[in-house]
Amino acid sequence: MRTMPRFTSNHQLAGYAFQYRDEMGAIDFPSFVESFEAFPWGEQMRKREKMEDGCSATISVVDHEQD
């Protein structure tokens, strides 16, 4: 019996330390597309261009059956 969803997602915003991410929880494909389309990519790119350190904005999906 699965205790966690198969897929979860996380976000890293511009300037986050590379090891830091906001866990967003369970996700399926339609929800991923919605999240991707709603994400403020332009704003995050402009913020990152002004910084010297940290990561670029990223949305990641983890497949827990492939760990």
Q: Are 37 and 63 in contact (CB under 8 A)?
A: no
pLDDT tens track for 11-35 = 999 999 999 999 999 999 999 999 9
User: How far apart are the C-alpha atoms of 13 and 36, rounded to whole Å?
Assistant: 13
Assign 41 a pLDDT band (cuts: 50, 70, 90).
very high
| Burial annotation 17-33 (CB, 10 A radius, 16+ → b, else e) | eeeebeebeebeeeeee
Assign 63 a pLDDT band (cuts: 50, 70, 90).
very high
Assign 3 a pLDDT band (cuts: 50, 70, 90).
confident
Query: How confident is the model over 49-67, as a mean pLDDT?
Result: 91
Sequence-distant (≥ 6) Cβ neighbours of residue 41 within 8 angstroms: 57
Mean pLDDT taken over the chain? 93
Domain boundaries, the chain: 7-63
